[in-house]
Amino acid sequence: MIPGAFEYVRPGTVEEAVAALVEHGDDAKLIAGGHSLLPLMKLRLAMPAVLVDISRIPDLSYVRVEGDEVAIGAGTRHFELEKDDVARAEVPILPYAASQVGDPQVRHRGTLGGTVAHSDPASDLPTALLALGGSVVVQGPGGRRSIPMTEFWLGFYETALAEDEVVVEVRVPRTGSAGWAYEKFTRRANDWPIVAVAAVEGRVALANMAGAVVRATATEEALARGASIAEAAGLADEGTSPSSDMHADPEYRRHLARLLTRRALEKASGAGAAAA
Ligand SMILES: Cc1cc2nc3c(=O)[nH]c(=O)nc-3n(C[C@H](O)[C@H](O)[C@H](O)COP(=O)(O)OP(=O)(O)OC[C@H]3O[C@@H](n4cnc5c(N)ncnc54)[C@H](O)[C@@H]3O)c2cc1C
């Protein structure tokens, strides 16, 4: 399919990108890697009149330690995150989750800001980010603000981002050598997860178990009161609302959530990083 006609602008700074969003309002859409937006445009499920290409804004791609946190620029591509030495040492679940996204072509084009802003409930990096906690830094006409990770993803393709805001950075706590695990279940290599589970330091997040990525709060509460891994993992699907599609019905997804959570918690409590 061929997308509808659109005007194309390429701002040189985040301020110019924000100005373009303010000027064109509803008609405008940011494009970064294009690996989620372009497929929607080809299906004509998205028909922006103006594409604001932020992929060449300098200084949006970085991974650096800032105090207790790791700051990652929104323009960082999945492949760059996967290979980054600072990320591997300071927050290893993220490069691993990045390595699980699609195929090399997708990982070389897709960006962290794009996958965060897109809010697909099956996306790998947002699941790992939600388990880590931290915040999403966004910039709009009034400057920058920080949105806690737990308040960012609201539903299917829906976030706390305003129409005239750009995701500029993600900040996560440094976890270093703390136990972690990312368990992704697919039918074929390179697929999106049917269900995925991220576990780090007693926090657990699930992909594809609701309209957006979600925390497995019943599991987390059980762990906090000293329940066994088996007992806590058995609660992983509590409060979720998995959908039905050609890959799995809700009951199967619930089963996978419990099973993968148990595996993830076992790995995270032992040699999780090494096993991954
Ligand atoms: C074949 C294929 C397989 C894939 N497999 C997986 C997979 O297994 N797991 C997975 O998690 N993902 C997968 N993806 C999606 C991939 O991770 C995308 O790269 C990602 O979801 C979007 O990043 P992008 O930079 O390409 O965003 P774009 O497509 O450019 O944009 C996506 C949306 O985010 C908005 N946006 C982009 N950047 C910003 C920003 N900085 N601030 C605010 N809004 C912004 C855009 O306006 C648009 O609405 C796959 C994609 C393809 C095509």
Domains of the chain: 7-53 (3.30.43.10), 59-173 (3.30.465.10), 180-275 (3.30.390.50)
Query: What's the 113 CA to ligand 1 centre distance in angstroms?
Result: 8
Predicted TM-score (pTM) of this structure: 0.96
* Selection from 166, 145, 217 nearest residue 32 by Cα: 166
C-alpha to C-alpha distance for 109 and 227, rounded to whole angstroms: 42
Tokens standing for residue 66: 């800032």
Joined together, the tokens standing for residue 140 give: 């709009």
What is the atom index within ligand 1 of the atom nearest the CA of 165? 43
Is 49 a residue whose pLDDT tops 60?
Answer: yes
What token pair was written down for 22?
A: 């303010």
Summarize pLDDT for 111-166 with one digit per residue, the tens. 999 999 999 999 999 999 999 999 999 999 999 999 999 999 999 999 999 999 99
Cα 35 to ligand 1 centroid, rounded to whole Å = 5
Phi and psi torsions of 195, nearest 5°? -145, 145
Residue with tokens 């699941």: 127
Q: What is the DSSP string of 53-102?
A: E-TT-TT---EEEETTEEEEETT-BHHHHHH-HHHHHH-THHHHHHHTSS
Q: For residue 80, name the pLDDT band (cuts at 50, 70, 90).
A: very high
